[in-house]
């Protein structure tokens, strides 16, 4: 399939516009660096579901705040822009996952996306001295192309999941056999349509083979490692961590600690989100 055909394929997905419009608006506003905190507050207040989500999570153990928060404006002050973006992206991806009507498949995609987001956050916190506000968001979005595959053909999508999980095959190859393309291409075109950054597009395109990423950024490697780790821990898939440790420069001891910490945090996030 040529690039042009792939683009046409995405353009022709009839169900695409029926995705919750709140998600599309949120994603593009979150993605726009010029969006002000006041605009986000306005958007949140337009959606009662999002209001209660933000308040529930602000008061959850994740942020460890000492005061009970009752208003969105107070939550925003306490959370800050970066945490707010992470929460709103979680909300958007959770809504997108609900497009998948098979409950097990829906839970699988959501849990996997959340696990990769949390593991990415933990890995990049160890790697970079300064906060990487996008790490969690990148992890959440890395497999967004799977939802596009589901919209295209839910039966084939289900089959590709079963081949990946039950038969323990490689997801990308299973999807290519069934669709001729994989969630990597569909995810790439989806974030391109939404106007995401080059870094986000590279992450989606190379999260299964970071050695081909054109940029020198270490982020595609971190996402790829988080993805492999999540499949290893939660789907019993084999993982070869040596190439990652060499590239990201973690010692084995550091890595063991990171995995323990990440697993603890994944459990915490899963119980709350």
**Interface ranges with Fe ion (CB under 5 A):** 143, 227
Tokens representing residue 259 in the block: 């995995």
> Nearer Cβ to Fe ion, position 76 or 144?
144
Q: Which is nearer to Fe ion, 47 or 143 (CB)?
A: 143
Cα–Cα distances in Å, from 125 out to 48, 201, 204, 243, 266?
Answer: 33, 22, 20, 20, 15
We find the least distance from the C-beta atom of residue 143 to Fe ion, in angstroms, to be 4
Q: How far is the CB of 161 from Fe ion (least distance, A)?
A: 12
d(CA 235, CA 245): 21
Torsion angle defined by CA atoms of residues 258, 55, 74 and 26, in that order, rounded to the nearest 10 degrees: 80
CB of 205 to Fe ion, least distance (A): 11
Residues 122, 258 contacting (CB under 8 angstroms): yes
Strands (E), 126-234: none
Minimum CB distance to Fe ion, residue 236 (Å): 15
66 vs 53, 63, 70, 264, CA distance in Å? Answer: 19, 9, 13, 22
Nearer to Fe ion among residue 84 and residue 96 (C-beta): 96
Other CB atoms within 10 A of residue 228 CB: 20
* Choice between 92 and 227, CB closer to Fe ion: 227
Distance CA 93, CA 72 (A): 20
Cα(195)–Cα(127) distance, rounded to whole angstroms? 28
Q: Of the two residues 143 and 185, which places its CB atom closer to Fe ion in the complex?
A: 143
Q: Least distance (Å) from Fe ion to the CB of residue 234?
A: 11
Closest separation between CB of residue 50 and Fe ion, Å?
Answer: 25
Buried/exposed code over 107-118 (b: 16+ C-beta within 10 A; e: otherwise)? ebbbbbbbbbbb
Least separation in angstroms between residue 173's CB and Fe ion is 12
């Amino acid at each position: 399939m040529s690039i042009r055909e792939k683009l046409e394929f995405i353009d022709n997905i009839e169900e695409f516009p029926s995705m919750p419009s709140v998600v599309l608006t949120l994603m593009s506003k979150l993605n726009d660096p010029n969006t002000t905190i006041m605009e986000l507050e306005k958007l949140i207040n337009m959606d009662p579901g999002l209001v209660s989500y933000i308040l529930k999570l602000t008061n959850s153990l994740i942020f460890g705040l000492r005061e009970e928060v009752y208003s969105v404006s107070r939550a925003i002050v306490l959370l800050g822009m970066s945490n707010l973006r992470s929460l709103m992206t979680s909300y958007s991806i959770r809504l997108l996952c609900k497009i998948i009507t098979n409950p097990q498949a829906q839970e699988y995609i959501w849990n996997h996306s959340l696990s990769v987001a949390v593991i990415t956050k933990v890995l990049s916190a160890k790697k970079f001295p300064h906060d990487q506000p996008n790490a969690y968001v990148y992890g959440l979005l890395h497999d967004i192309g799977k939802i596009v595959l589901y919209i295209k053909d839910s039966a084939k999508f289900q089959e590709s999941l079963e081949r990946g999980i039950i038969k323990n095959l490689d997801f990308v190859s299973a999807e290519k056999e069934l669709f001729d393309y994989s969630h990597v291409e569909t995810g790439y075109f989806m974030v391109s349509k939404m106007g995401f950054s080059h870094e986000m597009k590279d992450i989606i395109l190379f999260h299964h083979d970071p050695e081909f990423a054109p940029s020198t950024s270490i982020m595609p490697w971190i996402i790829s490692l988080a993805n492999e780790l999540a499949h290893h821990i939660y789907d019993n898939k084999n993982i070869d961590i040596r190439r990652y440790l060499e590239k990201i420069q973690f010692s084995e001891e550091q890595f063991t600690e990171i995995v323990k910490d990440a697993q603890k945090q994944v459990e915490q996030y899963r119980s709350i989100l």
